[in-house]
Chain A
Amino acid sequence: MPAVQETVDRVRRIDVDQYRYGFETLIESDKAPRGLSEDTVRFISAKKNEPAWMLEWRLEAYRRWLTMTEPQWARVHYPKIDYQDLYYYSAPKPKKQIGSLDEIDPEILKTYEKLGIPLREVEVLEGVVKPEGERRIAVDAVFDSVSVATTFQKELKQAGVIFMPISEAIREHPELVKKYLGSVVPTSDNFFATLNSAVFSDGSFVYVPPGVRCPMELSTYFRINERNTGQFERTLIIADKGSYVSYLEGCTAPQRDENQLHAAVVELVTLDDAEIKYSTVQNWYPGNSEGKGGIYNFVTKRGDCRGNNSKISWTQVETGSAITWKYPSCILRGDNSRGEFYSIAISNGHQQVDSGTKMLHLGKNTTSRIISKGIAAGVSQNTYRGLVTAHRKATGARNYTACDSLLIGDKCGAHTVPYVEAKNSSATFEHEATTSKISEDVLFYCVQRGLSQEEAVGLVVNGFVKDVLQQLPMEFAVEAQKLISISLEGSVG
């Protein structure tokens, strides 16, 4: 098996050296004392000038969390996390109150420039190499625990769209936050979500009013910079009746020897006839070739199709993190509502992925579609875990699931764990799954036609994930395609 062996060798050599976002930004930061207690929660709440109800909400979550234990059911293994050894809040120390982009620490601006995230609107508007008709993207940048900049606020405001850091939304739109926060992922939901509820520091808030089609893509860029710091962001997106919004999320972190915890919560709500399209390109630091360091990405993402004829679509490209534990889900509550999950999960080196989705059919004639593509290389383990259920009253529910796994080399593993449960006889569920090894014959065919070994792997893998890539907004699809190539090849030349 020399061809495959060679691929394995090449893949093995890449890992960290290929992680282009591993740099650290040297800035002063303002941190909460190490460890977690009621005081930590109060400290964070005070830092954010939060109203009393918010503090109470957090404290309740914290007390609940104390009674909970870490989930053990996922197919991932890691040493016990010492929750008292983490910092729960870290903010770049502002020189003064920030009023405009010009007042942001230039080091942070530089960081985002290096990452290729335009924070200056002018750059977005006058981009040198902008293809015809490219849509503009409004960006909210979250650096460690706080949001440092949100672009295009004015233009969005004209459309009636609220897009701001959630810490501001708590102060400025308490009625919306109170109504929806925790309504999809309750504070008692699970260990990590409960922890997040107690200590979340920032994240994005989006509200799209009835009948409005958001005029641009909204995007949040998360960056973990500070050492020993957990990032606990909270995102809440509400699409009111008949509205539409497309939201993109990107993530990176510096290379470090120790593991860092990222426990985010994302809640989506669609009312009647509304649609949210949520795309993620997750590229947290995956750890080095020995499996040292990397982000623990323990995330709870859930959407609630609360209204009739509403739709939520999750698309994710997961290439980073030492461990990924994440199941973006849809509660199909409204009649005729639709949930979609398109996923590409790549694991290499020592990465462990346990990811999938839940489609909970509650309303009549609800439909869902799951397309999952797992690619495992190195000595990684890649698990798809999915749940599809139809409630007794969810007559006419339909689901289509296709899970494909591709193995590169012979030391990695792919696992598919589907749970399917229909409580009424009119539900139609389809499940297809394949596992294949990247074929030596296919690789030889490609190299015989002049492609290098790693170009051949890239080509085959990109063909394998094509159905999902097509779901991404164009700008992200290009980035994702590059990322896929980088995470699997690029070692030579």
Chain B
Amino acid sequence: MALLEVKNLQVRVDDREILHGLSLTVNEGEVHAIMGPNGSGKSTLSHVIAGKPGYEVTNGEILFRGENLLEMDPDERAAKGVFLAFQYPVEIPGVATMNFLRTALNAQRKARGESEYSTPDFLKKVREVAKSLNIPQDMLRRGVNVGFSGGEKKRNEILQMALFEPSLCILDEMDSGLDIDALRIAADGVNALRSPDRAMVVITHYQRLLNYIVPDFVHVMSRGKVVKSGGKELALELEASGYTQFEDAA
């Protein structure tokens, strides 16, 4: 059974249709890149999979391990193993990052009927992961993403990915706002999390990111549909010829 199956998905926001029958199949262990110009519906796809309110699914379905994802609340989806690394992680003043991580992790474990982490075990785990991502302890004591640099925010997303151990990671424009060094650190963090029982969907404009996170499959989106799929070489092709060739295909 596929981990994620998106079938003929049609989505509207207000009165405008954004996705016009999109299909995508992702198996465990695979890394898929979704590329496309601005406004092609890439972020909409990631939001609908994660369950962000404000989108109306008018047709099609999304199955996660064969279960209907669209019937679940976003927190249920998270507990099932769907993780979205945000393009713009929000700030939550007054809530210490450490406290947030622990509350979220324990909420997920509780939803799955697992026991909550003890404080020492949790601290040990966080410190290990934080160290590997070059995240200073001081950052964990600060409010969630408050005063973080762009790179720190993205690293905080990857830290959560590592902690929650999701089976599906969707990375929405992970490279936006990162310089080359920050990008490399973030990409290394992501690569360390690649595993045979975890799939990733990497959403990006640019081929650049895919030099660091090398995908198994590349899909090109245009005007709310996947218009071309292929191997990693498709990304290089795009870099050379641009997206315009697909505008008509859609």
Give min CB distance, B46 to chain A, whole Å: 10
Q: Which of B74-82, B198-206, B208-216 is near enough to bind chain A? A: B74-82
Centre residue among B90, B108, B160 by max chain A CB count within 10 A: B90
**Bitwise interface map of A from 1 to 29 toward B, beta carbon under 8 Å scored 1, else 0:** 11100100000000000000000000000
The answer to whether residues A449 and B104 also contact, given A3-B53, A444-B52, A463-B95 and a CB cut-off of 8 A, is: yes
**Complex contact B90–A463 (CB within 8 A):** no
User: Considering only CB atoms, which chain B residue lies closest to A470 in the complex?
Assistant: B94
> Please, which residue of chain B has its CB at the minimum distance from the CB of A460?
B92
Q: Are B94 and A450 in contact (CB under 8 A)?
A: no
CA distance A436 to B52 in the complex (A): 21
Return the CB mask of B22-41 against A: 1 if under 8 Å, else 0. Answer: 00000000000000000000
Most chain A beta carbons < 10 A, residue from B54, B94, B95 = B94
Within 8 A of B (CB), among A433-461: 439-442, 444-453, 455, 459-460
Q: How many angstroms between the C-alpha atoms of A71 and B51 in the bound complex?
A: 50
Select which of A2, A439, A449 is within 8 A of B164 by beta carbon. A449
| A444-B52, A455-B107 known; A449-B94 Cβ under 8 A | no
Determine if B90 and A449 form an interchain contact, defined as CB atoms under 8 angstroms apart. no
CB–CB B50/A448 < 8 A: yes
Given A463-B92, A466-B94, are A450 and B104 neighbors across the interface (CB < 8 Å)?
Answer: yes
Given contacts A2-B53, A3-B53, A440-B53, contact A448 B74 (CB under 8 A): yes
Residue in contact with A448 in the complex, picked from B84, B92, B105, B111, CB distance below 8 Å = B84
Residues of A close to B91: CB separation below 8 A: 442
Instruction: Name the distance in Å between B194's Cβ and chain A's nearest Cβ.
Output: 21
Chain A residues with CB under 8 A of B84: 448
Contact with B along A67-106 (1 / 0, CB 8 A): 0000000000000000000000000000000000000000
Q: Please tell me if the beta carbons of A459 and B100 are within 8 angstroms of each other in the complex.
A: yes
Residue count of chain A within 8 Å CB distance of chain B: 27
Q: In the complex, A441→B54 CA distance in Å?
A: 11
B143 at the interface (CB under 8 A from A): yes
How many Å lie between the Cα of A459 and that of B92 in the bound state?
9
Q: Given A448-B74, A453-B75, A460 and B89 touching (CB < 8 A)?
A: no
Answer yes or no: A467 CB below 8 A from chain B CBs: yes
Q: Are A462 and B95 in contact, CB atoms less than 8 angstroms apart?
A: yes
Cβ–Cβ contact A460 & B95, under 8 A = yes
Number of B residues with CB within 8 Å of any CB on chain A: 31
**Cβ contacts under 8 Å, B79 to chain A:** 450
Closest to A440 in B: B53
Question: What chain A residues lie within 8 Å of B50 (beta carbons)?
Answer: 448
Chain B: minimal CB distance from A267 (Å): 33
Among candidates A2, A442, A450, residue contacting B107 with C-beta atoms closer than 8 Å:
A450
Whether B92 pairs with A447 at a CB distance below 8 angstroms is no
- The winner among A440, A444, A462, A464 for most chain B CB atoms within 10 A is A444
> How far is it, in angstroms, between the C-alpha of A464 and the C-alpha of B94 when the chains are bound?
6
Q: B103 contacts the other chain (Cβ, under 8 Å)? A: yes
- Tell me the bound Cα distance from A453 to B53 in angstroms: 12
* Residue A484 lies at the interface, judged by CB distance under 8 Å to chain B: no
Most chain A beta-carbon contacts within 10 A, residue among B75, B77, B86: B75
B242 at the interface (CB under 8 A from A): no
Q: Hey, which chain B residues are within 8 Å of A442, CB to CB?
A: 90-92
Say yes or no for B73: interface residue by CB 8 A criterion.
yes
Are B94's CB and A465's CB within 8 A? yes
Of all chain A residues, the one with the shortest Cβ separation from B93 is A463
State in angstroms the CA–CA spacing of A2 and B74 once bound together: 13
Query: Smallest CB-CB separation from A6: which chain B residue?
Result: B53
- Among the listed B52, B107, B143, which residue makes an inter-chain contact with A452, where contact means beta carbons less than 8 Å apart? B107
Q: Is the CB of B78 within 8 A of A447?
A: yes
A444 touches B74 (CB 8 A): yes
Q: How far is the CB of B163 from chain A (nearest CB, A)?
A: 10
Q: How far is the CA of A219 from the CA of B54 in the complex (A)?
A: 48
CA distance A448 to B74 in the complex (A): 6
Which of B74, B94, B160, B164 is within 8 Å of A467, CB to CB? Answer: B94
Q: Contacting A450 at CB < 8 Å: which of B52, B93, B95, B111?
A: B111
B78 touches which of A449, A453, A464 (Cβ 8 Å): A449
Complexed CA–CA distance, A466 and B77 (Å): 30
B141-183, CB under 8 A of A: which get 1 and which 0? Answer: 0010000000000000000100010000000000000000000
Q: Tell me the chain B residues, 56-104 only, with Cβ under 8 Å from chain A.
A: 73-75, 77-79, 83-84, 86, 89-95, 100, 103-104
A446-B145 Cα distance, complex, nearest whole Å = 13
Check if A446 sits within 8 Å of B104, measured CB to CB.
yes
With both beta carbons as reference points, the residue of chain A lying nearest to B78 in the complex is identified as A450
Q: What is the CA–CA distance of A212 and B124 in the complex, to the nearest angstrom?
A: 45
On whether the beta carbons of B92 and A2 are closer than 8 Å, the reply is no
Give the shortest distance, in Å, between B156 (CB) and chain A (any CB). 11
Q: Which residues of A contact B104 (CB under 8 A)?
A: 446, 449-451
3 cross-chain pairs, A with B, having the tightest CB-CB distances, nearest first:
A463-B94, A450-B108, A463-B95
What are 27 A-to-B residue pairs whose CB atoms are below 8 Å? A2-B53, A2-B54, A442-B91, A444-B74, A445-B86, A445-B92, A446-B92, A446-B104, A447-B73, A447-B75, A448-B74, A448-B77, A448-B78, A449-B100, A449-B107, A449-B160, A450-B75, A450-B79, A450-B107, A452-B75, A455-B107, A463-B92, A463-B93, A463-B95, A464-B93, A466-B94, A466-B95
Which residues from chain B sit less than 8 Å from chain A, CB to CB?
50-54, 73-75, 77-79, 83-84, 86, 89-95, 100, 103-105, 107-108, 111, 143, 160, 164
Q: A450-B75, A465-B94 are in contact. List 17 more A-B contacts (CB 8 A).
A: A2-B53, A6-B53, A444-B53, A445-B90, A445-B92, A446-B92, A446-B104, A447-B51, A448-B75, A448-B86, A449-B108, A449-B164, A452-B75, A459-B95, A460-B95, A463-B92, A463-B94
